[in-house]
Amino acid sequence: MTKPVPTPDADAVDWAAMKRDLAPVAIIDETVLVKKRSRDFFWYSPVLNAQLKRSFGDLVAQPKTKDELAQCLSVAFGHNAPVVLRGGGTGNYGQSVPLHGGLIIETLGMSRILEIGPDFVRVEAGALMADINAALKAHGREMTMFPSTQDIATIGGFVAGGSAGIGSVANGPLREPGNIREIRALSVEETPVEHVFQGEDVLRIHHAWGLNGVITEVTLRTVPTRDWISCMATFDSYADAYRAGYALANRQDIDRKLVSVVDARIAAYFPRLEGHIPKGRDLMVSLVPREQLDAFHDLIRAHGGTVALSMDDAERAAAGIPHVFEFGWNHTTLQVLKSDRSATYQQYGVNDPSDVERVAALHARLGRRAWMHHEFSRYEGAVTASDLPIIWTQDESELRSVDALYRANGCTVYDAHTYQVEGGGMKPDFRHLAVKKRMDPKGLLNPGKSRSWADVSHLSPDEIEALAR
Ligand SMILES: Cc1cc2nc3c(=O)[nH]c(=O)nc-3n(C[C@H](O)[C@H](O)[C@H](O)COP(=O)(O)OP(=O)(O)OC[C@H]3O[C@@H](n4cnc5c(N)ncnc54)[C@H](O)[C@@H]3O)c2cc1C
């Protein structure tokens, strides 16, 4: 048993000496630019906005190679400086906000695509996902999934902070075995060491918010690319749209890679769809391979819907319509917040996604308080549904009362209003903190973002691991 690891103190760091020791790594020390790189999309949440809006880093480093990244970590180790990794800064929970100040390491300069194999791609952590998908397309492949922020978000940030996205209804979430083949990550020590995580061990780094090691490279499974057609179907009621969405998600003969169901009142906040989608109708947004469009049309008709939009990428671009996935996942929330900041959102898992009647009953009970938006995915072969509703409040007690209503109606809350990694429900035990103790013995990485670290940091990695059994 040793002493608890103290929280690193950015005020005690000699920043002038840090800057000298970081050379020749590029740095940014202009306050306004450092502050800008201390933000992410936490402002979606009124709770996080109040808690994080005054948290800023002290200095930004921009390594271009693995050696430069290792140098940054070694220097931070020597100065006991807090360290926060940053890719595109598009996380939603303040994941890349430096709660205790310190060094921000921006990975955008480490963006090489290292290897494209028959069914995999190996990339540096700072590669943008749109660039990875573009490179894969030339090989007839694409990523198993990506977030709607692919143009500005990095693969390192997605693996460290994200969970699922466009493609997950076909290929599962990131944590589905085989989707992440390998993660390489540096420890934070005097001489950082690159560790290789494969198989189940990738889950110790995935969705650990950069607390457990610094990702240098990721190897991901890829799938054949298709001639994707952007589709939008409209329905008389939310229940009809949800029922059709559930049916489409279950169809193995239609290789859909997106099935989003959006309340008509949310669709009213999509001005760029005006003239393309009839007003006041509940929506299903999808991406379907061209050769399976007939089957898709049949499915929509059978569920009482109408296909209002069906375009390939060239037609869509000519019509001035963004990617349809910008009307799904967390972009749906952004479309509303762009015109009205008095709303927020939440993340709920639907425990029995086949129970359409229960979804419809909750939709009616929520009334004007919350407007539903479901995303269908697949996990270990079974279709799953999550609801990311627009919730019309800035008041936490009202938000928690909506949470309670969802819980009472067969849903699990994956809280989007917490800046601690355990709060979202994906790190339920201590195993990832055993890895943290090995990889980051001084607790310098993203301090304050783990609720449980203070309880176990005095233990050895093996002792922490034993707590999880
Ligand atoms: C409009 C919108 C839509 C979104 N849609 C989705 C979605 O569909 N699915 C989804 O899962 N998420 C989604 N997100 C959340 C977010 O965009 C994604 O998770 C994204 O991939 C994060 O990438 P980033 O480069 O911006 O990461 P950042 O926000 O920069 O970082 C995210 C976390 O990863 C850590 N990190 C970054 N790089 C490294 C590294 N090299 N090593 C270790 N840790 C690192 C950071 O410290 C931070 O904790 C969405 C967000 C927005 C705003």
Which of ligand 1's atoms lies nearest the C-alpha of 331? 1
- Distance, in Å, from the CA atom of 60 to the CA atom of 434, rounded to the nearest integer, reads 28
Distance (Å) from CA 92 to ligand 1 centroid: 8
pLDDT tens-digit series, residues 32-43: 999 999 999 999
The pLDDT of residue 305 is above 90: yes
Of 2 and 263, more confident: 263
Ligand 1 atom closest to the CA of 325, numbered from 1: 8
pLDDT of 364 over the 90 cut: yes
Å from CA of 158 to ligand 1 middle = 4
Tokens 């627009």, located at residue:
390
Q: Residue 283's pLDDT is what?
A: 98
State phi, psi for 352 to the nearest 5 degrees: -125, 90
**320: exposed, middle or buried (C-beta count within 10 Å: 0-12, 13-18, 19+)?**
exposed
Q: Which atom in ligand 1 lies closest to the alpha carbon of residue 328?
A: 8
What is the per-residue pLDDT across 226-248, written as a single tens digit (0 to 9) for each?
999 999 999 999 999 999 999 99
Q: 């989707």: which residue's tokens? A: 179
Q: What is the pLDDT of residue 427?
A: 74
pLDDT band at 446, cuts 50/70/90?
Answer: very high
Q: Which residue has the tokens 């800057």?
A: 19
DSSP string computed for 170-182: HH--TTSTTSEEE
- The CA distance from 64 to 163, in Å, is 26
Distance 162 CA to ligand 1 centre (A): 5
Q: What's the rounded Cα separation, in Å, for the pair 441 and 188?
A: 8
One-letter identity of residue 167 = G
pLDDT digits (tens, 9 = 90+) for 131-141: 999 999 999 99
The conformation of residue 7, written as its DSSP 8-state character, comes to: P
Q: Whose CA is nearest to atom 12 of ligand 1?
A: 162
Question: CA 38 to CA 444: how far, in whole Å?
Answer: 16
Residue 32, token pair as written in the block? 């306004």
Q: Could you tell me the distance, in angstroms and rounded to a whole number, from the CA of residue 14 to the centre of ligand 1?
A: 30
Q: What is the dihedral of CA 18, 21, 24, 27, to 10 degrees?
A: 0
DSSP 96: T
Q: What is the pLDDT of residue 2?
A: 77
| Range in 33-47, 180-194, 303-317, 454-468 the model is least confident about | 454-468
Residue nearest to atom 6 of ligand 1 (CA): 147
Q: In what order do the strands lie in the sheet with 411-413?
A: 306-311, 228-235, 282-289, 258-262, 373-379, 382-387, 348-350, 411-413
Find out whether 104 and 60 touch, Cβ atoms under 8 Å: yes
Is pLDDT at 332 greater than 80 in this prediction? yes
* Residue to probe by mutation, ligand 1, list 218, 330, 420, 446, most atoms within 8 Å of CB: 330
Pocket residue to mutate for ligand 1, from 39, 48, 73, 96, most atoms within 8 A of Cβ: 96
**E strand or H helix at 417, and its extent?**
none
| Cα–Cα distance list, 301 to 33, 232, 292, 293, 376 (Å) | 52, 13, 15, 12, 20
Position 378 scores a pLDDT of 96
Q: Is the pLDDT of residue 44 over 90?
A: yes
State the pLDDT at residue 393. 97
- Count CA atoms within 13 Å of residue 195 on its CB side: 21
User: Residue 463: pLDDT band by 50, 70, 90 thresholds?
Assistant: very high
In 3-state terms the chain splits into helix, strand, coil percentages (rounded to 5) of: 35, 25, 40
The C-alpha atoms of residue 234 and residue 359 are separated, in whole angstroms, by: 18
Whether pLDDT at 1 is above 60: no
Q: How far apart are CA 360 and CA 243, in angstroms?
A: 10
CA 37 to ligand 1 center in whole angstroms? 14
What are φ and ψ of residue 110, in 5° steps? -105, 80
- Max Cα-Cα span within the chain: 69
Topology of domain 228-413 in CATH is Vanillyl-alcohol Oxidase; Chain A, domain 3 (3.40.462)
Residue 68 alpha carbon to ligand 1 centre in Å: 22
DSSP conformation letters of 339-384: H-TT-EE--EEES-TT-HHHHHHHHHHHTTSEE-EEEEEEETTEEE
The verdict on whether omega for the bond into residue 24 sits within 30 degrees of 0, i.e. cis, is: yes
Taking the centre of ligand 1 as the mean of its atom positions, its distance from the CA of residue 205, in whole angstroms, is 14
- The string of pLDDT tens digits covering residues 189-207 is 999 999 999 999 999 999 9
- pLDDT tens digits along 414-444: 999 999 999 877 777 788 999 999 999 999 9
Distance 195 CA to ligand 1 centre (A): 22
**SS3 state of residue 456:** helix
* Ligand 1 atom closest to Cα of residue 154: 25
Average pLDDT over residues 264-292: 95
For residues 353 and 363, give the distance between their C-alpha atoms in angstroms, rounded to a whole number.
Answer: 14
How far is the centre of ligand 1, averaged over its atoms, from the C-alpha of 149 (Å)?
A: 9
pLDDT of residue 469: 72
Atom of ligand 1 minimally distant from the CA of 160: 34
Which amino acids bring their CB within 6 angstroms of ligand 1?
Answer: 40-41, 84-92, 95-96, 107, 125, 147-149, 153-154, 156-158, 160-165, 209-210, 214-215, 329-331, 334, 446
Tell me the C-alpha distance between 284 and 277, whole Å: 11
Q: For residue 86, which of 21, 123, 24, 41 has the smallest C-alpha distance?
A: 41
| pTM of the predicted structure, to 2 decimals | 0.97
Atom number, ligand 1, closest to the C-alpha of residue 107: 41
Centroid of ligand 1 to alpha carbon of 157 (angstroms): 4
CA distances from 404 to 102, 364, 407 (A): 37, 16, 5
- Burial grade of 194 (CB within 10 A; 0-12, 13-18, 19 or more): middle
Please, are residues 145 and 174 in contact by the beta-carbon 8 Å criterion? yes
pLDDT of residue 368: 96
Q: In this structure, which amino acid lies at residue 434? A: A
Task: Report in angstroms the alpha-carbon separations of 407 from 131, 296, 357, 401.
Answer: 40, 33, 16, 10
Dihedral of CA atoms 267, 268, 273, 275 in degrees, nearest 10, equals 130
Q: List residues bridging with 36 in a β-sheet.
A: none
Over 70: is that where the pLDDT of 382 sits? yes
Cα 162 to chain centroid, rounded: 3
Q: What is the pLDDT of residues 70-101, one digit of tens each?
A: 999 999 999 999 999 999 999 999 999 999 99
Write the residue with the smallest CA distance to atom 33 of ligand 1.
161
C-beta separation of 430 from 464 below 8 A: yes
Ligand 1 atom with minimal separation from the 205 CA = 43
Give the pLDDT of residue 430. 83
The residues pairing with 124 across neighbouring beta strands, listed in sequence order, are 217
> In the chain, what are the domain boundaries?
228-413
Task: Supply the Cα-derived Rg of the chain in whole angstroms.
Answer: 22
